[in-house]
Amino acid sequence: MTAATQPIAPQNESERLRARAVWMYYGDGLTQNEIAKQLGINRVMVVRLLADARRRNEVRITISSTLSELARMEQELERKFGIGRVILAPNADPGANPIPVIAAAAGSYLSQEIKSGTTIGVGWGRTLYATLPFITANAIENLQVISLLGGIAAARRYNPAEFAWRFAELFQAEGYLIPAPAVVDSPETRRALLDRCGLAAIFQMADKMDMALISVGDIASLTTSYRTGYLTEEERQSLVDAGAVGDVLYNFIGADGQVVDHEINKRVIATELSQIRNTPNRILVSGGKEKITAIRAALHGLSPTVLISDEQTGMALLKDGRNFTAPQPA
């Protein structure tokens, strides 16, 4: 017997879990015990998921729907890049803006995953900002939210401080912002701010984060980072010449995911990528055809535990036939 699903995409975690169980059982041929182990649930739950799929007429002859195709792509990406969990939002139109569907998927995931006693560091950008309406507001005790990047004076809506504050407000959490620009004029100014103005203490909190929520910027086009006025076109081009393909928290990285040797990286007031790599839960939320190279680099450099993207980005990442080796924690 093989399996099929109705032509709908999973809208919540229960549907997504059911789709994965169906694919593993009918597509990959795994036993119920093997599925239970991989999904972190018990065998009784697997039996119920499969029975529910049959009751809903999602199991027929072949696997041909969007739901099952997304489940298959998610599992292929998990295997290829060594990611613990991949969530792809449905997006059948290659020309569509992927941010709304990615934001909806990320908001749903975060609403269920953020727990009491967690310290979470957050990045910035259009995609992360768009998740806010999709996150269920809920007072959570002993939750700390840390902005991982200095502020952007020329940007209001996508300012790192604005996002961190709004995010913390949703959960009535303690928020810790960085009262400094994201990029300063010299390495000496950066050191002075860290050593003399108390900023080092905030960054030290990043060493104890339970979760990091980050996105990726690409360098080939004028995205959020370059519209703010901190970097000139000449500086952007010099980063490209140095091998940069994108940035994570204004840390400009090459195709291998490592920070490029460029003086701008020495002027950034942001959490170092080594701290992100050592965070137990690393959630990367990003997508779009212009970001494929940057996302691939971030997967190499950060080895996220969760990737939340869209269908078109997932297909593009799978087309790359190169081998992937996850970096070792610092």
For the cut 70, the answer to whether the pLDDT of residue 43 exceeds it is yes
Q: What residue ranges do the domains of the chain occupy?
A: 13-65, 85-319
Q: Mean pLDDT over residues 101-114, rounded?
A: 93
- List pLDDT tens digits, range 161-214: 889 999 999 999 999 988 888 888 899 999 888 888 778 888 889 889 999 999
Which is more confidently placed, 72 or 197?
A: 72
Integer Cα distance of 49 and 61 in angstroms = 18
Q: pLDDT value at position 179?
A: 85
Tokens of 181: 């620009």
pLDDT on residue 259: 96
Helix axes 43-55, 32-39, angle to 10 degrees: 100
Give the residue-averaged pLDDT of 114-136. 93
CA distances from 242 to 162, 170, 171, 290, 299 (A): 31, 40, 41, 19, 20
pLDDT at position 322, please? 60
Say yes or no: do domains 13-65 and 85-319 share a fold: no
Would you give the end-to-end CA distance of the chain in angstroms? 47
- 157 vs 96, which has greater pLDDT? 96
The 281-285 sheet, strands edge to edge: 85-89, 306-310, 281-285, 211-214, 119-122, 144-147, 174-176
- Top CATH class of 13-65 equals mainly alpha
Q: Which of 82-96, 97-111, 224-238 is predicted with the least confidence, judged by mean pLDDT?
A: 224-238
Whole-structure pTM value: 0.78
What is the mean predicted confidence (pLDDT) over 52-72?
71
pLDDT per position as a tens digit, 222-235: 455 555 557 788 88
CATH architecture of 85-319: 3-Layer(aba) Sandwich (3.40)
What's the pLDDT band for 310 if we cut at 50, 70, 90? very high
* Rounded Cα gap, residues 175 and 178, in angstroms: 10
